[in-house]
Chains A and B, each alone.
Chain A
Amino acid sequence: MTDSSDISTDRRTSTPAKRIRTLGWLLRRIGGGVFVLWMVATVIFFALRLIPGDPIDAILGGPGSQASAEAVEKIRLDYGLDQNLIVQYFLAMAKLAVADFGTSYALKIPVAPYVLTQLWSTLVLTIAALLVAWIFALGLTLATSGRGRLARAVGSGLELVAAAVPHFWLASLLIIVLSNTLHWLPPISVAGPLGLVLPVLTLALPLTGFLGQVMRESLINAYEQPFVLSARARGESEWGVRLRHVLRHAALPGISLSGWAFGSLLSGAVVVETIFARPGLGRTLLSAVSIRDIPVVTAVALLSALTFILMTIATDVVDRIVDPRLTKVSEQ
């Protein structure tokens, strides 16, 4: 675990050696990421074939198809569905290795461009939600900590409740209040920034609860650290202390939490996209699984795994920059 006695002796290490070590670390992380992607692809491949039902139904446009026996056989041959499962697996992995995601069974269009457009829509939503959650959480925490019992209790209570609210319930409440009653915002996702407000709020508020709670804990702990005392002794103002020292340490767990939060936002995005009629990866995934469109499900799974891995590496890099204590720890 983090051994606090390791507080930056690294500053005395020579810069080139540090750079090489960092590069090595980065390469190892990327290598690990590729391995994880491969394992994810394997798990998906076999898991999807465990689902009852013939994959050919999706290609035929649904299980209600009247397609003749010859048509069915031809499709089986064209799509390579008649071969041994292990052979199919290696073929599929080979294709994925060169980023060939194939064509959608149901929509008959190339998967990669289709999924990428959906990804863009979800990314806009989730990144906006993450940013808004951060701003709200930081604001709430800074405003209500160290200000007296009532403020703290209120802030804490709000965070608690926010984190406990299911997304679709929150969406219903927001639509009733902000759309049906006050007529401030549209209930569906329309073009332009207004259409983004309700979906983003729905995702952001529960996350604000989480982030807020974590930040509050570490903010309080950070206040009690020795370096705060020494900063105060040096004559720094209260806000100076907050911004330059405490915030940095308080933000750390929030940063690492964001990596995890991003992954969970995808799951929340499904609900938001369905309720507000937004296109996106969540909805795509939901319908693809229900009609057994294997290429699309595979692409979405890999894409979200890739995004998660990239986010993880990114947050680790940010961590290293913000808290130099970690450079030693990651060598575990």
Chain B
Amino acid sequence: MTEILAGRLTQPSGAPRGSRGWRRSASNLGVVFALVTLALIMVAALAPQLLTTGQPNDVAPGDAFQGPSPEHFFGTDESGRDVYTRVVFGAGNSLLIGVAATVVGLSLALLLGALGGLGNRLGDFVSTRIVEVMFALPGLLLALVFIAIAGPGVVTSTVAVGLSTAPGYARIIRSQLRSVRNAGYVEAATVLGHSRLRITLQHILPGALSPIFVLATLGVGQAIVWASSLGFLGLGVAPPAAEWGAMLSSGRTYIDVAWWLTVFPGLAIVATAASFTVLGRALNARTRQEVGK
């Protein structure tokens, strides 16, 4: 199942290098765009004051619902706040949720995957069952129940999204570890008499975990989209925090009088998620080229 997906991502193809050259230069432009976008997002997240002078929560009811203009690039929202400023400051929130959710998911996945990939039969059995149950529980239900228990907010959104993505990663990590475990150079190291710990740390883990970075970049984009959907359902961050999903959700109500409230945060989400995906795929192509025969 997902083993096949993982296999596609990590196995080298049998083709000679030369035929790949044309593909590389074609996607270069896309990668450049993606990197520029991500750089902008990073700046917005870490140093928003460089991109805007206002504050995201500056309320000005008299200026509400103004369209895009030289003073307000993206217009103003229902409370007169500058949408451009909120999008810039929102980068931090959204990125934080996306990255944190991916970290949570990967950490859990590492635990489960290692148990399955490196452990004995019992460990494998237990971890596979846990992963299957996590898969079978709909991600939405996990999120809803978790948020009902712990209340909405950044932390619960993060954990909820992370929990939903964990089983997928766990499967991949497990199969990666398994296949590397059986690889030639590991056998050789065992024969040479290296300790199990040394073999694990020096050979198995690095080999198995290299595609994880790629998956993580792909995952961050998806986590941001997920988190924005939770915001739409009213399960996101508390107001008045600027977060793209929450902005999209409240902007939707006013779509007949203020289209800019929906369009710009939405574009930000799509641009970020797409850029992460491009980056991830470019990294993937590079790792495969390096590992290739």
Do chains A and B interact in one complex?
yes
CB neighbours (8 Å) of B136 from chain A are 36-37, 40, 263, 304-305, 308-309
CB neighbours (8 Å) of A257 from chain B are 5
A176 to B278 alpha-carbon distance, docked (Å): 29
Closest approach, in angstroms, between the C-beta of A84 and any C-beta of chain B?
21
Interface residue? B75 (CB, 8 A): no
Is B132 in contact with A32, judged by CB distance below 8 angstroms? yes
- Contacts A153-B26, A217-B8, A225-B14: A169 and B145 contacting too (C-beta < 8 A)? no
Q: Nearest 9 A-B pairs (CB), nearest first?
A: A1-B179, A164-B273, A267-B140, A305-B136, A224-B15, A164-B274, A169-B266, A39-B133, A149-B26
Is A289 in contact with B148, judged by CB distance below 8 angstroms? yes
Q: Which residues B44-99 have CB closer than 8 A to chain A?
A: none
Interface residue? A89 (CB, 8 A): no
Please report the total number of B residues contacting A with Cβ < 8 Å.
Answer: 60
Is B233 in contact with A286, judged by CB distance below 8 angstroms? yes
Is B30 in contact with A39, judged by CB distance below 8 angstroms? no
**A interface SS class:** helix
Residue of A whose beta carbon sits closest to that of B10: A1
A17 to B212 alpha-carbon distance, docked (Å): 39
Is A2 in contact with B248, judged by CB distance below 8 angstroms? no
A304 to B138 alpha-carbon distance, docked (Å): 7
Residues of chain A touching chain B, judged by Cβ–Cβ distance below 8 Å, are 1-2, 32, 35-37, 39-40, 43-44, 47-48, 50-52, 149, 152-153, 156-157, 160-161, 163-169, 172-173, 176, 213-214, 217-218, 220-221, 224-226, 252-253, 256-257, 259-260, 263-264, 266-267, 270-271, 274, 282, 285-286, 289-290, 292, 297, 300-301, 304-305, 308-309, 312, 315-316, 319, 329, 332
Q: Which residues B243-293 have CB closer than 8 A to chain A?
A: 245, 248-249, 252, 255, 259, 262, 266, 269-274, 277-278, 281
Other-chain residue from B129, B179, B277 in contact with A163 (beta carbon distance below 8 A): B277
Closest approach, in angstroms, between the C-beta of A157 and any C-beta of chain B?
7
Is B248 in contact with A166, judged by CB distance below 8 angstroms? yes
Residue of A whose beta carbon sits closest to that of B143: A267
- Contacts A226-B14, A266-B140, A289-B144: A166 and B225 contacting too (C-beta < 8 A)? yes
A156 to B27 alpha-carbon distance, docked (Å): 10
Is A165 in contact with B229, judged by CB distance below 8 angstroms? no
Is B270 in contact with A271, judged by CB distance below 8 angstroms? no
